[in-house]
Amino acid sequence: MAGRSLRVVFAGTPEFAVPCLEACRASGADVVAVYTQPDRPAGRGRKLAASPVKDAALAAGIPVEQPESFKAEADRERLAAYAPDLMVVVAYGLILPRKVLAIPRLGCWNVHASLLPRWRGAAPIQRAILAGDSESGVDLMQMEAGLDTGPVLVERRTPIGVDDTGGSLHDRLSALGADALSEGLRRTLAGETLTPRAQPEEGVVYAHKLDKAEARLDFSLPATELERKVRAFDPWPVAEADVAGERLRVWSARAIEGVPGVPAGEVIAASRAGIDVACAEGTLRLTAVQRAGGRRIGAADYLNARPELKRAAS
């Protein structure tokens, strides 16, 4: 490709994909079109809202396409009319059929937020935290018809810290994804052919889509497992728990040593440091919560509204 422009079609939807779009633009490639999900109802008014990628594309003056799918031949012909050398796909939200994968001259690349083959699928960031993984990363992958099965072209790794949340890991992997994509584009524009590395057949794990029902904290489970759930589900869907007769959203918590013989779910201490709830193994200390219709507050502010907990647990 040296000495010749690289025509790129970018396909992505959420905030995670925006740095990758910017990396495409900064690479010197010619981003000829952006594909993103159709506008969806959002917010309390349920008004149609554009995706973050659409907003970024329009701000950059790039044509935007929003097909519901690529089942119609007319939609595939429209993509082909852009004559892309390469299609870059980042959290687009549509599975591309073989006929679409075959349109770009160099095929399609995908930026995926895990170390493949672990955590193929929809929610790799949260699943890695839930499972207690010590490491995550981003793979730039050559797309195939299978779900995240293609060979890896470039990889970036990062440790998962004990305080990482779904939000903090999301932001770090988003930046790493843009970095990996930048390397792939730079080398391709320099005339290099990237060497694909086939994924191992062992170690395949699927990151199933998050369900809000999963956010409920079950104190009959170990406190360490519940702490990971609180971290993984921040900022969405946010963990929930029944605490002393009230349903709370739990934004921050940590596992501490338990008190033997206390039934799971019982509040055993409550102070400015947090609200300690007994678990099957250990104790979960809730440090930031949210009441129905309220905002996120620290444990001290919550206990000011419920002083009886301080008395009951003293």
Q: Do the annotations mark residue 210 as ligand-binding?
A: no
Element (H, E) at 271: strand 267-271
Q: Do the annotations mark residue 38 as ligand-binding?
A: no
Neighbouring C-beta atoms of residue 47, cutoff 10 Å: 10
Are 173 and 165 in contact by the 8 Å Cβ rule? The answer is: no
Q: Do the annotations mark residue 115 as ligand-binding?
A: yes
Backbone angles phi, psi at 57, to 5 degrees: -65, -45
Backbone angles phi, psi at 178, to 5 degrees: -65, -35
Q: Do the annotations mark residue 97 as ligand-binding?
A: no
Are 128 and 169 in contact by the 8 Å Cβ rule? The answer is: yes
Residue 78 buriedness (CB in 10 A; 0-12 / 13-18 / 19+): middle
User: Residue 73 and residue 77: Cα distance in Å, rounded?
Assistant: 6
How far, in Å, are 80, 107, 112 from residue 102 at the CA level? Answer: 10, 6, 20
**Annotated binding residues, as ranges?**
114-117
Residues making up the annotated binding site for (6S)-5,6,7,8-tetrahydrofolate are 114-117
